[in-house]
Amino acid sequence: MAYVTFDKNSPANTQGQVEKIAIDDAALEKVAPQISRQADLVCTITEDQYNGLRLGTMKATHDGAGNANVETYPAIEPGPVVTSSDINDYVTVIRENWASSEKVDKDDWLAYADSVAAIDLSGNTLSDLPQVVEAAGITYRALSQLPMKSA
């Protein structure tokens, strides 16, 4: 069972309110520790919906009663190809997550950031960062998966 969390104060049925996603109970505890969940609305989703949110191919809202509504984004024209600047911006956010405190899985996430930073973009024609990361043989991690729980 996978999860998506929303701010309890966010209006129902509106976009842009996903706070965190988690593939299972252990991941949920890392991204939204029990002690902080009183401000969250935690909804269960399928693994396919989790992967869609992780890769940015799906969007989610909640109905105000604890149920998530997950839909596939409509097809759009590809944008500009992913550049090293796009990768650097993404990796910087990951690395800055540990700037002020020690959180669980620090070494794992920093190793992931190093792997993403090392992706060779020569010949890249993809315009979506998750696709570039996955094409390099690395499982893409959405920023909504970054741990909040301290080590």
Both 31 and 68 in a single domain?
yes
14-73 per-position pLDDT tens digit: 765 788 999 999 999 999 898 888 888 899 999 999 999 999 899 999 988 889 999 998
- Residue 78 counted as domain residue: no
Cβ pair 58, 70 in contact under 8 A: yes
Domain shared by 94 and 117, yes or no: yes
Q: What is the pLDDT of residue 103?
A: 78
Q: Model's pTM, two decimal places? A: 0.80
The structural domain count of the chain equals: 2
Residue type, 74: P
User: Do the Cβ atoms of 28 and 144 come closer than 8 Å?
Assistant: no
Running DSSP on this structure, what letter comes out for residue 99? S
Please report whether residue 58 resides in a domain: yes
Instruction: Verify that 10 and 68 share a domain, yes or no.
Output: yes
Look at the alpha carbons of 131, 82, 72, 40 in this order and tell me if their dihedral is positive or negative. Answer: positive
Same domain, 52 and 98: no
Residue 60 shares a structural domain with residue 92: no
> Which amino acid is located at 59 in the chain?
K
- Asked if residue 91 belongs to a domain, the reply is yes
The pLDDT-based confidence of 141 (bands split at 50, 70, 90) is: very high
Residue 77 lies in a domain: no
Q: Which domain holds residue 16?
A: 2-72
Average pLDDT along the chain? 90
